[in-house]
Amino acid sequence: MDTSQQKDLFDIPEDICYLNTASLSPSFKAVEQAGIDAVLQKSRPYLIPSSDFFDPVIELKKRFAELIQLDEFERVASIPSVSYGIATVANNIELNAGDTVVLMQEQFPSNYYSWKKLTDTYKAHLKIVQAPKTTSNRAKLWNEAILEAIDDSTAVVAMGNIHWSSGALFDLKAIREKTRMHDALLIIDGSQSVGALPFSVKEIQPDALICAGYKWLFGPYGCGYAYYGPYFDGGEPLEENWTNRLDSHKLPDLTRYQHEYKPLANRYVMGESGSFIHVNMQLEALKQVLLWTPEAVQNYCRGISVKAVEELRNLGCYIEADDYRSHHLFGLELPESINIKAFKKALSDQQIFVSFRGNYVRLSCHFFNTEKDFERFLNCLKSVIN
């Protein structure tokens, strides 16, 4: 793949330095056009066949299944958000008093509030695994602490593949082995990893994987994906909509009410999952994500950021050890001498877009970025230090 040509897929002005895909990805030109075409299609609904409610959604599930190395595409459900997917999971779990649900420190809210409500309901406990205070081998020690936190009281471990602010990489394979030892469920939020970091359902075998679609999967805001494993095959969906029932494709027979749900994850799809605008854009996005491959994304991002990471560390910034973090997304803790207000103003003045999350300045890059983007960020930081 010629990475020099990938920037042409986007419409980002040369004077913009966008290191913020982890917040919201820019659309490819092809995704933008797919959305426009779909809007125009809605203007002539008599040209939309009834099969468009179903066939494009099936194709979408197949593409996402391919991305996560999943053989059964019907274990994929289209959802509107991570909170919807996590709420579906929590809705189908019963706890015993005294059980624990293990979470990471400062987990994204969509993967926290449902667990807080669930543990409160059953008089169970949240066990929050804190990141070690040290700046030496922090992510390695954090992984060890997570493994130690999983014991006979553990009912669920819910976490990301990486930490959404720091980029700390979690050893899901080892964590999955430990959860099996204690009959605990493993629920993964892949929003900040799937599409940019290799992930295999075959290898990890999580009980559920929930992903926002508007970040590293380059879909429109308001779309997402969920994989539900065998534990959830007979569960209750959050809503009763016409498309998650058996034989719903037979439109003339819809009022012959059907008590059976469609098999596997199809029972969990959101209402109006066949949204013409969203699905057309998502299909175009996943087509390109699959062509890129997550491995290529990691390699490219590592290559364009390696010099900047070294210099940032020399300036006194803390970044997780390279072997224990992702390269498409990483956070840096600034030296205490930095005036954060002045730094934010300088970034804004120079049209450099990053995220401030907790104690971290989060940088996230993709194929439309180059080394020059990191040089601009570095020079901006140096101007504040000086």
The confidence score (pLDDT) of residue 1 equals 63
pLDDT given at position 248 = 81
* Residue from 317, 220, 346, 230 nearest 275 by CA: 220
- Give the model's pLDDT for residue 250: 80
- State how far the alpha carbon of 313 is from the alpha carbons of 299, 310, 320, in Å: 20, 5, 10
pLDDT digits (tens, 9 = 90+) for 15-30: 999 999 999 999 999 9
Q: What's the confidence (pLDDT) of residue 278?
A: 94
In 3D space, the residue among 310, 281, 108, 302 whose CA is nearest the CA of residue 210 turns out to be: 108
Residue 343: both structure tokens together: 């730094």
Residues 6+ positions from 215 with CB-CB distance below 8 Å: 21, 22, 23, 24, 25, 191, 192, 195
CATH class of 45-291: alpha beta
Which residues, including other chains, have CB under 8 Å from residue 33's CB and lie 6 or more apart?
284
Do domains 3-27+293-385 and 45-291 share one topology? The answer is: no
- CATH, range 3-27+293-385: 3.90.1150.10
Domain ranges of the chain: 3-27+293-385, 45-291
pLDDT confidence of residue 128: 97
> How much is the CA Rg of the chain, to the nearest whole Å?
22
All residue ranges of the chain with pLDDT < 50 are none
* Secondary structure letter of residue 325 according to DSSP: B
For the four alpha carbons of 161, 165, 169 and 170, in that order, the dihedral sign comes to negative
- Backbone φ and ψ for 272, nearest 5 degrees, come out as 60, 35
Which position has the token pair 């940019």?
196
Sign of the CA dihedral running 248, 254, 256, 259: positive
> CA end-to-end span of the chain, whole Å?
40
pLDDT given for residue 244 in this prediction: 84
The pLDDT of residue 386 is 66
- Long-range contacts at 230-235 (CB < 8 A, ≥ 24 apart): 231/185, 231/207, 232/89, 232/92, 232/207, 232/208, 232/265, 232/268, 233/263, 233/264, 235/88, 235/91, 235/92, 235/267, 235/268
